[in-house]
Amino acid sequence: MKMLMSLLALFCSLHAVADEMTVKPVPVTPTQTISLFNGTDFAGWTKVITAEPGSDPDTTWTVADGVIRCTGKPFGYLMTQQSFANFILKVEYRWYAQTEQMNSGIFVLKTGPDTFFLPKAIEAQLKKDNAGDFVLLSQATLNGLENPKHKSVKKMAATSEKPDGEWNRVEVVVKGNTVTVSVNGVLQNKGTDAYTDAGAICLQSEGGAIEFRTITVEPVR
């Protein structure tokens, strides 16, 4: 029995180490512009969605005409298979249909397990009329704030979003443990002392019928 317990403890230890390595790959620090979307498929991405009856990630997330289309149902996210540190993320998005929940987001510094909906990450909110808010997910911290109930940090300026159907440009800068977000060239938020300085990037499925294109990371200037 003692030998069995020792072997079990060793297995658990190895499993924990493997999990840690899986969720924290060596981060890439861009030295030039890197395109994260090739315009044709999901190479370099992983789909994570709610395990609802009949749910199919290939229905939630599709690629057509050079854009990523997300139905918003069920909830989940599209995650890069690589983590990043010290980068400028540029993403273009638009709402392609009116839905009850015009909601989505961009997660940066995602770490830990791939939970179906809210992993540990800092969300740059894209919800209609709230684009530029920060949402702290699953005990992520920023500005010295820690809130297990997904603390929101409201944007600085008036809404800078374009009318529905038009393309918006979001820029998220991660420099060390400082994170800033701009929407259509307007600085909307800045946070310091983030809980980590590296992690994966995710696009969220949260009820909104949304499209993404031109997803790149660049060196921090």
How far is residue 208's CA from residue 126's CA, in Å, rounded to a whole number?
A: 10
Chain CA centroid to CA 157, Å: 22
How far is residue 69's CA from residue 77's CA, in Å, rounded to a whole number?
A: 12
**What was the pLDDT predicted at 84?**
98
213 pLDDT band, cuts 50/70/90, is very high
Place of tokens 């840690």: 20
Tell whether the model's pLDDT for residue 148 goes beyond 50. Answer: yes
* Poorest-pLDDT segment among 85-89, 105-109, 123-127, 147-151: 147-151
**What was the pLDDT predicted at 175?**
98
Per-residue buried b or exposed e for 25-45, using 16+ beta carbons within 10 Å of the residue's own CB? eebbebeeebebbeeeebeeb
Domains and CATH numbers, the chain: 25-219 (2.60.120.560)
**What was the pLDDT predicted at 147?**
57
Burial (CB < 10 A; 0-12, 13-18, 19+), residue 178, is middle
Q: What is the mean pLDDT of residues 6-12?
A: 35
Percentage of the chain beyond pLDDT 90 is 71
More confident call, 82 vs 49: 82
DSSP sequence for 147-216: -TTT-EE--SSS--PPPTTS-EEEEEEEETTEEEEEETTEEEEEE-S-S-SEEEEEEEESS--EEEEEEE
Tell whether the model's pLDDT for residue 18 goes beyond 50. Answer: no
